[in-house]
A and B are shown apart, each in its own frame.
Chain A
Amino acid sequence: MGTTPCKYDWPEASKRKLIGKRISRVDGPAKASGRARYTYDINPPGLLYGKIVRSPYAHVRISSIDTSEAEKLPGVKAVRVIQKTGTEIQWEGDEIVGIAAVSEEIAEDAARKVKIEYAHLPVFVADADLAAAEQAQRTKVTKDDQQGDVEKAFQDPDAVISEGFYGQPVICHCCLEAHGQVTQFSDGPSLKIWQSTQGVSVNPGQYAEVLKIPAASIDLVCEYMGGGFGSKFQVDRWGIECARLSHDAAGEPVKIMLERAAELQVAGIRPSLYGKIRVAASKDGTLTAWQSESWGTGGVGGAGVPPLPYVFNIPNQKVKYTAVSTNTGGARAWRAPNHPQSAVLTMGALDDLAAKLNMDPIDFLTKNMDLAPESLRKYYLDELPIARRLAEWDKYWHPRGQGASGPVKRGLGVSLHTWGGRGHNSTCNVTIHSDGSVEVALGSQDLGVGTRTVIGIVAAESLGLPLEAVTVKLGDSRYPYSGASGGSTTVGGVSSSTRRGSVDAREALFAVVAPGLGVPPDQLEAVDGHVRVKGDPAKSLTWKQACAKLGTKPVQVMGKNPGDCNLTSSGVGGVQIADVSVDTETGIVKMNRMVAVQDCGLVIDLKTAESQVFGAMVMGITYALFEERVVDAQTGKALNANMEAYKLAGIGDIPDLVVHMMTGPGYDERGPVGLAEPPTVSPGAAISNAVANAIGVRVSTIPITPDKVLAALAGPEKGAMA
């Protein structure tokens, strides 16, 4: 943020009519009434149903493919071999044959008639076992760094050292709207695509490149989107094949939405991460040394390097990470890639060290705040006391394992997190029509975070109008380019482009109406549905009267981000506290309460911002207590590629959730910064720490299921801390 005033700057708090208020999302009625049409709901006339024949095996070579019986079936319109005989298949569910037919049932019948023979190859899926992975030659060391003098720091006689093993398995995105698209060729090379995607503006180019047709002939639409969480950026192979099937079927529209099993097998996972950690502090609680050997898998390609130690740059550190290749579907970005896993390892290890030091973990984190990035310290130091108060920490926290005497033990745990989230590149068209109506059009997408609403709020605020006066058009690649929605970059990006466009549009309107009001344009302001002379509200026009002066020439300007005046920034901090009760007889963990204190710079819509954090906590409770992809060790087949056994939290699993958004000086002037990822980071660590606080031992891996709780209570060899 610049210090010199700029015409695009966000309005001061005292002048904001909409920004920062609690405003209901503008597409709420369409969604609540079932009228919102998602990709899955697109049914153009003549629609054909596509099915993909997938490998039932995790590691094979295709020996033969016979599609002749499928092709003969009445109603089948196109059959395509996607991966030919001889191809090595490296995970269960990989695509082999595509079929389009007049009904889904016939497409399924045809899929069953495809005969594929396989030669089996060795399967490796044991990602939790580093020694086994090394023995199978499925590892690659992708980080092995050192800073300071680690050995000396650990050998310091005053050092208090904690050692432990921490981890988490692979989890799936499990978007409720499966991945998929409808594709339709029409006259000429024109291709219409309805895709459930996080990248409306980005994807036509990818389709064009592979299909070898001009990107200009492609129109991609995604008006409503049923969940992505990082897994719906790219154009998938099934998307390309869908278009090819449509082409082969004389251009008829073809719909391929993944079945639930495929959605869980091939459409995205969050990598696992396991680690052996040693961490040391001096007796007063000052962190001195960190050593981690960690590993994890994101499928055949391994996984990215996790940021360890997380948040705290401990002076002496030795960090090794090994990527493990397994015969499972590939990783895709999952909210805050690598951060939640790193938080479980780091915040778990720090919490165990605090317990060994007999320190309150909040005091311990606070004491070491000098090791956190300088830009974040202020936020954490603001947030920790607020979280402490909201969680009634001083009432319910107790030294580890020293809770109630009965079988049900209550405990509290804390974690903190960060994320970048600078607004992405975005362009938008802002149009003021002579009838006073206003539209903002951009090739962005609303994944459910409230993007439409945020854009409307920024435009309406900038033009002095009520929110209903602005029509937001997004979800179509014919609109101006806006970046893909990932890394919590959308709200910062689209807010900034909309702000610049709206301010410029306002000035263009002022230029037209100023002569009639007898003042220079810069003496006008747009407030409460009027264009009026600053300091002389009597000299004013209603918005409609002002716009009528445009005659046949509407104002239309392009807003951009980045651009003049920095309107967004990077780097947010957040703190979460979990409050749990653990039944030491059954091992069941019950959430009592969860508190999130979160910063995201300038909040545009407090209601949808809070929803993001509520949702992140629910997702976090889910992966902390329930969620895990289970793969058969021998065959590599997913054992829970369905929604009965792949467990998502239900409403009854969710406790009282408390969200406190940081706003005001020190926060607002940074402009809107991303919010979807950061609050998803801490729940696993906070809940794990709360369980350790309750029962006195660490359950080393999440999800913290009853069997693991009982095993941890049973003895140290089961994963409890010595």
Chain B
Amino acid sequence: MKRKKPKQTEPRAETVVSRRDFLRGAGVAVSGSILTGEGLLHAAADTPAKVLGPGETKFVLRINGKPHRMNLEPRVTLLDALRDRLDMTGAKRVCDRGTCGACTVMVDGKTVYACSMLAIEAEGRDITTIEGLTPEGKLTPVMQAFVDNDAQQCGFCTPGFVMAMTALVKHNPNPTPAEVDLALSGNLCRCGTYHGQKAAALQAAKSMKRGAEA
């Protein structure tokens, strides 16, 4: 599969409901026809506009292969749903507005800033968090590469970088240093661990070529 943009910060075109619009419009009508693409809100094209919120809404999130019944206000972000409602705290909240990448998860195999997607937007999609990469607690080659190359200090940005790098090596088993920089450009580190991360990406890609699973 050809790698496209390294970071998908907005939902895909057929579900163009930005977090900002939702926060502003919680409780107002949204046109069903805009949202039909993936049946995101179960709104059929020919039904009248559906009102969501401001109260709690029942829906199901499929996270790391398991369904989770949610009952949340539409304004709750995917990140807050994961961290505060499901106690999956691997994804971190740092900038909380789509800049730093600490909250990176995968939705349908693509990296997404979980702070910038509403939980209800993720219904019907396959959500993978860092917890889902290591169901048996064994490190993935990417994680092992972070350890071996000391690509982490305080570690708070690390899960986000691990998700971004995992997406990179899955889609591009032979990244050049420039491609590593591009793929990780949506994530920020304050301790300054980029030197180790560059080395980690190349090590992880090498492990992948030997057949290990990302």
List residues of chain B with CB under 8 Å of any chain A CB.
73, 75-76, 80, 83-84, 87, 89-97, 99-100, 102, 129-131, 133-134, 137, 139, 142-144, 146-148, 150, 152-159, 162, 180-182, 184-185, 187-198
Q: Beyond A31-B155, A176-B156, is A643–B95 a contact (Cβ under 8 Å)?
A: yes
> Across the interface, which residues of A come within 8 angstroms of B134, CB to CB?
33
Contact: A43 with B89, CB < 8 Å? yes
* Cα of A260 to Cα of B96 in the assembled complex, Å: 7
Some 26 contacts from A to B, beta carbons below 8 A apart, are: A24-B148, A25-B152, A32-B142, A32-B147, A33-B90, A35-B90, A36-B155, A37-B89, A43-B89, A176-B94, A177-B94, A177-B154, A226-B154, A257-B93, A447-B154, A448-B155, A618-B193, A618-B195, A619-B191, A643-B99, A644-B97, A648-B190, A650-B185, A651-B185, A651-B194, A652-B182
Contact: B150 with A644, CB < 8 Å? no
The answer to whether the Cβ of A642 comes within 8 Å of any Cβ in the partner chain is yes
Q: How many chain A residues touch B (Cβ–Cβ < 8 Å)?
A: 60
The answer to whether the Cβ of A225 comes within 8 Å of any Cβ in the partner chain is yes
Contact: B89 with A40, CB < 8 Å? yes
Contact: A32 with B139, CB < 8 Å? yes
Contact: A38 with B156, CB < 8 Å? yes
* Cα of A226 to Cα of B94 in the assembled complex, Å: 10
| Contact among B99, B142, B146, B190 for A175, CB-based, below 8 A | B190
Rounded to whole Å, the gap between the CB of B105 and the closest CB of chain A is: 11
Q: Beyond A642-B97, A644-B99, A651-B197, is A448–B181 a contact (Cβ under 8 Å)?
A: no
> Across the interface, which residues of A come within 8 angstroms of B139, CB to CB?
29, 32-33
> Across the interface, which residues of B come within 8 angstroms of A103, CB to CB?
84
| Contact among B90, B102, B146, B198 for A28, CB-based, below 8 A | B146
A618-B189, A642-B97 given; 20 more Cβ-contact pairs under 8 Å: A24-B148, A34-B131, A35-B90, A37-B89, A38-B89, A38-B156, A49-B84, A176-B189, A177-B92, A178-B94, A226-B92, A226-B154, A611-B193, A614-B195, A616-B192, A619-B190, A619-B192, A643-B94, A651-B187, A654-B194
Question: Sorted from nearest, which 4 A-B pairs have the closest CB atoms?
Answer: A618-B192, A34-B90, A448-B154, A31-B155
> Across the interface, which residues of A come within 8 angstroms of B193, CB to CB?
611, 614-615, 618
The answer to whether the Cβ of A580 comes within 8 Å of any Cβ in the partner chain is no
Question: From residue 1 to 60 of chain A, which have CB atoms closer than 8 A to chain B?
Answer: 24-25, 27-38, 40-41, 43, 49
| Contact among A105, A175, A226, A642 for B155, CB-based, below 8 A | A226
Give per-residue flags for A345-388: 1 if the beta carbon is below 8 A from chain B beta carbons, else 0: 00000000000000000000000000000000000000000000
Rounded to whole Å, the gap between the CB of A643 and the closest CB of chain B is: 4
The answer to whether the Cβ of A245 comes within 8 Å of any Cβ in the partner chain is no
Rounded to whole Å, the gap between the CB of B159 and the closest CB of chain A is: 4
Q: Which of B76, B146, B184, B188 has the most CB of A within 10 A?
A: B188
> Across the interface, which residues of B come within 8 angstroms of A224, CB to CB?
154-155
Contact: B195 with A654, CB < 8 Å? yes
> Across the interface, which residues of A come within 8 angstroms of B181, CB to CB?
650-652
* Cα of A29 to Cα of B143 in the assembled complex, Å: 7
Q: Beyond A43-B87, A615-B191, is A651–B198 a contact (Cβ under 8 Å)?
A: yes
* Cα of A648 to Cα of B102 in the assembled complex, Å: 14
The answer to whether the Cβ of A608 comes within 8 Å of any Cβ in the partner chain is yes
The answer to whether the Cβ of A276 comes within 8 Å of any Cβ in the partner chain is no
Contact: B83 with A617, CB < 8 Å? no
CB-nearest residue of chain B to A615: B192
Rounded to whole Å, the gap between the CB of A226 and the closest CB of chain B is: 3
The answer to whether the Cβ of A607 comes within 8 Å of any Cβ in the partner chain is yes
Contact: B83 with A41, CB < 8 Å? yes
| Contact among B137, B142, B144, B196 for A614, CB-based, below 8 A | B196
Q: Which of A104, A610, A651 has the most CB of B within 10 A?
A: A651
Contact: B150 with A608, CB < 8 Å? yes
Contact: A611 with B155, CB < 8 Å? no
Contact: B89 with A41, CB < 8 Å? yes
Q: Which of A41, A610, A612 has the most CB of B within 10 A?
A: A41
Contact: A259 with B80, CB < 8 Å? no
The answer to whether the Cβ of A330 comes within 8 Å of any Cβ in the partner chain is no
> Across the interface, which residues of B come within 8 angstroms of A31, CB to CB?
146, 152, 155, 158
> Across the interface, which residues of B come within 8 angstroms of A259, CB to CB?
96
Contact: B194 with A618, CB < 8 Å? yes
Rounded to whole Å, the gap between the CB of B137 and the closest CB of chain A is: 8
The answer to whether the Cβ of A267 comes within 8 Å of any Cβ in the partner chain is no
Contact: B99 with A642, CB < 8 Å? yes
Q: Beyond A448-B154, A608-B150, is A650–B188 a contact (Cβ under 8 Å)?
A: yes
